[in-house]
Structure 1
């Protein structure tokens, strides 16, 4: 049954996503807000499919920790789910993504139209300057900035080194940083076919105020995200 439900979800998700991408093509000539609306609708559609077909729900905790003014949201990254959910639960977030993703047909085009924040990890010091420039433009539009500090997905129970880009944004932008813990990798595992039933929990943790030095900030950020993530994994019955 798990295999069949996973197969049905994957088929429905990828086919419907392709249809939606093509159907929304005329929106490229319309204002950016139209694309943002369509991306939110697609994200919520995906969450609905996941719940109805795979039996995977989600719960968001700690919304009271999310400032009303734009903030830097530093999220744990375990699953493709993480890249979808923020468009569904936040109002027009600016998501930091690898520049290579912009070359993917439709996905990249929509990301450009929605003014997501690309980072070119091969261009050295200029990468941070461009990242800061795009980030400031997003903040000027009153948008939360979402970044995955690890840069890539980590399996439940493990983590990748935190990249310096998050510290660069934090120090240059002078805004609060909201750490995020989650356990999505238990239900939508990276590079796996199965979609497991249960409840994904995403938790916004208390914000880190601006003004810390880089080294202290990085230690504080990792020291908040990783234990909180381990706690969510243990709550879901994960034992390593």
Structure 2
């Protein structure tokens, strides 16, 4: 049954994407940017609905009261494709920092460019940061929510954290709050796997880290609070979804947390 549902979801996901592209592309590029954003938001809502109805994958968002007014940075855990669109319907005007190569994809790249997503050349490393900061400053000045994945790539639930220092540069240069967000959709939408599992995902929005810390102090604090909350949420998510098969790295992390008697990110 899991294989059948996973196949049906994949089919529905891509059919929905193609149909919405055919219907909305002719008008998307003629609309003002913020109005046009309703089209990607609708695409995200449809994806979440399909995941619930076909797979049985539901979700909730906890901590919406922690989102500040005006422009701010979201520092989110990244485990699978699901978490790249799950927040889009909830946030007023999110903007992502993404690999510049994604803008080269026909249609997708054009959609992203219209929404002024911020491309970064990973090959340029530190040389790309000043341009990224300048673009981010422009978007935050417009009151947008900047979403960044500080580990730079997808990580399995409980995998060893690997935060990049670029998030600290953004924090000190932009002087806006940073809101950590943790979630574990990778338990149900695992990397390099066709299968999609039913269950319930909690997206947990933590309290914002206000500007004013040094880059190093902020960086250490961000990792500490994020990983502690991530460990706590991992334990909770596994407890309420005991049927989900766990990746090896997740089992190892859970054993370490239990052995310590508390979240091991302190």
Name the residue aligned to 1:155.
156
Secondary structure of the 2:122 match is: coil
In structure 1, runs of 5+ residues without a counterpart are: none
Contact 1:150 1:159 in 2 (8 A): no
Number of paired residues?
240
Higher relative contact order (CA 8 A, sep 6+): 1
1:1-240 aligned within 5 A: 1-26=1-26, 27-237=28-238, 240=251
Give the Å deviation of 1:110.
0.6
Change (3 A) 1:160 1:101: farther
Q: Structure 1 CA distance, aligned partners of 2:199 and 2:92?
A: 26
Contact 2:202 2:237 in 1 (8 A): no
Contact 1:183 1:201 in 2 (8 A): yes
Contact 2:80 2:185 in 1 (8 A): yes
Give the Å deviation of 1:215.
1.2
Give the Å deviation of 1:160.
4.1
Q: Structure 1 CA distance, aligned partners of 2:157 and 2:53?
A: 24
Contact 1:6 1:193 in 2 (8 A): yes
Length-normalised TM-score, structure 1: 0.95
Cα RMSD, aligned residues only: 1.4
Length-normalised TM-score, structure 2: 0.86
Higher radius of gyration, 1 or 2: 2
Secondary structure of the 1:209 match is: coil
Name the residue aligned to 2:255.
none
Give the Å deviation of 1:59.
0.8
Q: Structure 2 CA distance, aligned partners of 1:123 and 1:218?
A: 22
Contact 1:179 1:225 in 2 (8 A): yes
Q: Structure 2 CA distance, aligned partners of 1:64 and 1:29?
A: 35
